[in-house]
Structure 1
Amino acid sequence: MMKTECYYFFLTLTLVSILEFSAVDCSDIPDDYTREVRHNNYVLQQCQEENLPYVIEVVVRADQTIEDISYTFAVPEKANRLSDQSLNREGRLRSQLRSFLRTIPDLPITQQVPDARLLPDLGIKRRETVRNVMEAVISKLSLGTMDNNLCRSLGLLRSVLDPESFINSFNINLGVCVVTSTIGDTVKSSKYKYVRGKILQVQINDTNKSQLLSYKRAW
């Protein structure tokens, strides 16, 4: 009888232990992509302002699509965090940062929060960091005519200012840079042109209205 009671006791204890283990909330453990985004955010914030425009310029000039540029600097939270492509994108950014910094600082240990809350916040912080230097980036790429690099940088600015319709394609037609966001069935575009040495956003909302390029809002 004693053996039977002990058997039931240990069986109950085992079942309780298994249930407790199964009830552990693993949502507080960031995935690999989230960790990479958070670490790169920290490095970007440590990067001196005179270095960061060069980092962005190198990526804009590189053989990456404008959609990849948007994911890299404007909307990392909208990328597929489970794909190798997203991880590789953050890895390329880290390599560029390493070429401008002597050492890559380690990420400070902080309290973990669920990915569902962490990634959107990381996207906001990255856009804030990048927006602060976009005027310097565009000035460096402004050579008096509209070319692919300048148009891509204008698309990045548009993604930073309006992340819900981030830019994923562009073209230049008769000196006019057209950057386009296609998210599902929703298509939005903005147009930019050099006029007397200044960059204007033209044909705003399909009208004849034009405005000087804004670094604070997307028309």
Structure 2
Amino acid sequence: MNWLADRRTTVVLFGLVILMFAIMQMVFPKTLAAPLPEARVQSPVLAFEFARTPAHLDHIFGVPTDPARIAAIDRGNRIDFLFMPIYGLFVFSVFAGITQHRKRRLWLVFGVFGLVAAASDAVENLLLLHITANLSAPGDALALLAWPVWIKFGLLALASGGGALALMRSGRRVLGALCLPAPFMILPALLQPLQFGGLVAGAIGLGWLAMGLHVIMRAR
């Protein structure tokens, strides 16, 4: 665990997270095939993760289905398998460093949340790829999708909450405050994903930014 607790490792992983996020933004389609009525989430990526009915899929992929849109989303989801271990290790590395600094292994629990979230993300993507291969009859894959999606977001939101606590105890109150929205947003997002799911995803990203900046400041 020593190399993962090294600040230089965490900084490299943070840089890779930013790079992979930029790549993912370029790969996935930017707009839905048709707007989702009364939904704040209009990103095809998030709308697909939060899809619960065949009607939701129609808004993402179009009627008739657009093969180019399916190919783009599949390509993005396959590339996403590279992103999962990077962000999982980044979250773990942040808390490995905090554990080493504070001499309390309890902090490492939040790091494990990042690894489990990444594993759940992999299950999610396998379901998404299964759905696009069977759009006319998504069946059990669509019914099961909510489980890995909300395990992922829930654990990452809890890790952000752990980051808030650790940063505030370190005197970095502003950075700690940036980690707070994610744990507070997770319940509304779970209850109404098409309304608030995008907010919790953005809040988790904000928490990662705060944790990454904290590590960079410590490395100077």
- TM-score with structure 2 setting the length: 0.27
Q: Which structure has more RCO (C-alpha within 8 Å, separation ≥ 6)?
A: 2
Q: Larger % of strand: which?
A: 1
Q: Larger % of helix: which?
A: 2
Bigger Rg, which one: 1
- TM-score with structure 1 setting the length: 0.27
